[in-house]
Each structure stands twice: as C-alpha cells, then as structure tokens.
Structure 1
Amino acid sequence: MRDSSDHPWWKGAIIYQIYPRSFADSNGDGIGDLNGVLHHLDHLQKLGVDAVWLSPIFRSPMLDAGYDISDYCDVDPLFGSLDDIDRLISAVHARGMRLLLDFVPNHTSDQHPWFLESRSSRDNPKRDWYVWRDQPNNWRAQLNAGGAWTWDEGTQQYYLHLFLPQQPDLNWRNPEVVEAMHGVLRFWLDRGVDGFRIDVIHCTGKDPSFAD
C-alpha cells in the first residue's frame, strides 16, 4: 500500500466491509460480534485485505441495522465493549491493515440524549440541534417511512427525519452540532481508528428555505 500526499492509501486499497452482526459469532449467542471479527483477521490478511470497514457497532435500538445511534462513543453490548474494539484495532494494525468505522452524521436515534433534551422543551439549549418547524413541507422519508416530518405532542412542533421517525435529523447549520460531531471523530481517531466511511453525507445539507 502506497501512502503519500499525492496518492492517498485508500485510492488503491482493498477494503473489506463487515456487517458484524452476521459475520462471526464468538460466544454462541447467535449474534456476530467484534471478537468474531478478531478471530478471522488472519483469513482477511491472507485475502490481501488492506482495510476492514465495520458497519455501525455503536449503541443503538437497532431499528435500522444500527444506523439509529443512541451513543456514538460506545459499543453496543450486542457486539462487545470498548475494550473489545481496542483489541481489534491493535490486532488489525499488527497485521499491517487499517480499520474504518461507519460514521453516521445526518441523524441520531430518538433515544440519543441530545434528542431527548431537544424534544423536552422549545427553550432547551439543544432544541436547535435538530430541525423543528411549526409547519411541515412535502418532503418524503426513505425506507418507506412516508412523510419526513413527525408531530411532537409535547412541544407542539414537527421534527424532520429523512429516514425513520425514530431517526431525527441533526441540524448541521448549528456550530455546536458540528463541534460535537467532530468530537465523535476525534474520540475514535484517538483510539486508533484509521478513518471513516461517511453515511448519506449529502443529507446533512438541507435547503434552508425548506421549500416544497
């Protein structure tokens, strides 16, 4: 793998995506986990893999295969622990490979503490971390979720979700959101992760007029 400023390593790398839940089960509970990935690294190395890309392994209610994240800085117990991901990162590096994580910046789970605060009241400091409106437009959600707005009875406004109603969209025009999400990236880079595959990055930029 060449790695220079004029030829980034990933441009010529063999990147192997793993959906951890179905890849390898190390403890017999019927669910794939991080230790299962660890046990198969020699196989991946023999295949000539340069980087392992893990689908989301973060804490999640798992309504959308882990893309509804309730804590970006922890591992869901289904897959293991932070200690397990640390061991996996070290083992990947020991074999001359890299580890990539899925980064999901457009939305969180509705169970994320940020959204629980945001929906608690209109004057909560995190209200503007998500997209709230008195009147919805005609945008449609993905995953056959219908309209892209859900009414919140408690605060009498609609919140935007381009995917499931349980995946409220973050407001990337708010600099506090930008800084918080950069903090997530720093958290994982500091643990030794080598990079990220960014999920639906195009969705983070919305028409500020919210026109139909």
Structure 2
Amino acid sequence: MTDRPAVDLLPGVTPLPFDPEWWRGAVIYQIYPRSYQDSTGDGIGDLAGIAQRLPHIARLGADAIWISPFFRSPMKDFGYDVSDYCDVDPMFGSLAEFDRMVAVAHDLGLRVMIDLVLSHTSDQHPWFIESRSSRDNPKADWYVWADPKPDGTPPNNWLSVFGGSAWAWHAGREQYYLHNFLTSQPDLNFHCPAVQDAVLEVVRFWLRRGVDGFRLDTINFYFADKYLRDNPSLPRELRNDSIAPSVNPYNHQLHLFSKNQPENLDFLRACGPS
C-alpha cells in the first residue's frame, strides 16, 4: 500500500518527493526491531537504535526500510497482536523517537515502510474490550461474533492457522468470536463500515508522520464470508504445507470462505488515491 491519500503532515515532517511507483524494483531492507540495534543497553532493539544504523543501510544501496511491528502489544505473538495501533510499545521507544527515525531516514533518501496488522487485534485492544462487554454496545459488531449451533459447538468448521478451532467462546456474550491465529487475536469484522473507517484512520495517522508505505499483514483475512459457510475438505494430494505445517489440520481444508474473499479487493480499490 504505497499511494499517499490526501493527508496533512504533522508540523516538521518533511516527506520525500511523492512517487507512487517508487516501490517497483526498489531494494527494501527489512528490520525486526526487537533483535536489531539496542540503544539503551536493556537487550532489546529499539527505534533509536534503528536511527543509529540508517547511514549503514543507506550505504548498502537500499531504497527503503520496512519495519516489523513496534506498536503497543502484550507480545503474545511478538507484536502481531496489537493493543494500540497509534502508539509505540515502550520497549521500542516513543512516538517522538519514531518521528526522529523517519526524519533521519528521509535525510538519507530512505523511504519508510511499516507493518500494519489490520485483520485482527489483541484481545487487550480497547475496541475488543468494548465489543465483548455486551451484544448492544457501540462496537458490538466490530468483531466477528456468532451464535453457537444448537448443540453448543462453534458456528462452522473453520480452523485456526495456529491449530484448533478458529472460534473461541465468550461466556459474557454467550457467543463465539473468530480468531484465525491465537485465541488472543480476535478478528475484526470488515463488513462493518465503522471498522473500515477506523483502520483507514490508522493509516492516515502514520501517513501524517511521514510514512511512505505499508506492508499489510494477513491482508487476505480482512473479510470472512458473511454467511459463515463451512469450508470444504481438501483432498490429500492437493494439500499445501507452505501455509501451515503438514501436521496441522488447517491443511485439510480448502479455505474457500474463511479468507480470500472478493470484498478484500473491493476494499483495497476503495483505499486508492482520492
């Protein structure tokens, strides 16, 4: 996602010249913050450490850096379980240090890409805490909730990439919620217009800070089939263990309804330049 919507940059942010095609053929250097440069001596890499090493990356001939998640998170999935999309986890620094890193990158002619994990949040995200509180709160439909079958079992046969059912029971709502990964990573309901608006505002938040592009994690999981139909089985000869280990039953299904929905493309088209 590299087209820059019309946003007002924060004071002091100096962007590189806008070029929607910059990524074609670009050399992009991925950085996993936690194991990169530690600037404080606590044994954990951080944003200030990244800024220190940017001259080296520029000398290597890179055109851009891609930074893996650094947002606030309980770290049950190493940052891919986000509890606040618009803040930096203290282990990595602060928003001010992020802004400084972007400024250093741009001074060196390096563009900055960040990972956005929009298909799901942490169960500690305020959105989910509100959503799970009742069936009629303002965010009640922000996640994929479904009633059990008459016998109390999950609403369909969908499986989690990480093993087991993709549904977790919540006693408060007496409903199941969808999680394609950990049970602590509930899936957002992209069929809800308010959810689409909220995640696009997250995109604008980072664009205002000078970010040049995004790597969209698990983008094919944004939408689930609105009718929650069962996935068909997948013959053994067609199973592909490149997505999950061969011992994982996830590979026994053709994921026709739990991901890769046509609405994904419609949403991305709607996110194009305005």
What is the TM-score with the length of structure 2 in the denominator? Answer: 0.74
Mapped to 1, the partners of 2:94 and 2:197 lie a distance apart of 25
In 2, Cα distance between equivalents of 1:35 and 1:44: 15
**1:138 aligned residue (157, 160, 176):** 157
Identity across aligned pairs (percent)?
60
Match of 2:31 in 1: 18
1:164 matched residue in structure 2:
182
Give the greater-gyration-radius structure (CA): 2
For 1:29, the equivalent position in structure 2 comes to 42
Unpaired segments ≥5 residues, structure 1: none
Instruction: Look up the match of 2:102.
Output: 89
Given candidates 64, 67, 90, the residue that maps to 2:77 is 64
Of 72, 92, 108, the match for 1:79 = 92
RMSD, aligned CA = 1.4
| Count of residue correspondences | 209
> For residues 123 and 53 of structure 2, what CA distance do their matches in structure 1 show?
34
Does structure 1 residue 41 correspond to structure 2 residue 54? yes
1:97 is displaced (CA, Å) by: 0.6
Task: Give the secondary structure class of the aligned counterpart of 1:193.
Answer: coil
**1:154 CA displacement:** 1.0
**2:77 alignment partner AA:** D
Aligned runs of 1:115-194 on 2, under 5 Å? Answer: 115-135=128-148, 136-144=155-163, 146-194=164-212
SS of equivalent residue, structure 2 residue 129: helix
Aligned to 2:245: none
Q: 1:97-121, CA deviations, whole angstroms, 9 ceiling, x for partnerless residues?
A: 1001101110000000000000001
Instruction: State the SS of the aligned residue for 2:194.
Output: helix
- Letter of the aligned partner of 2:159 in structure 1? R
Q: Distance in 2 between matches of 1:190 and 1:154?
A: 38
* Partner secondary structure for residue 159 of structure 1: strand
CA deviation digits over 1:185-211, x for unaligned, max 9?
Answer: 000000111110000110012112111
Residue 52 of structure 1 aligns with an amino acid whose one-letter code is I
Gaps of 5+ in 2: 1-16, 149-154, 231-274
3-state SS, counterpart of residue 186 of structure 2: coil
- Give 3-state SS (helix, strand or coil) of 1:78's partner: helix
> In the aligned structure 1, how far is the partner of 2:47 from the partner of 2:162?
27
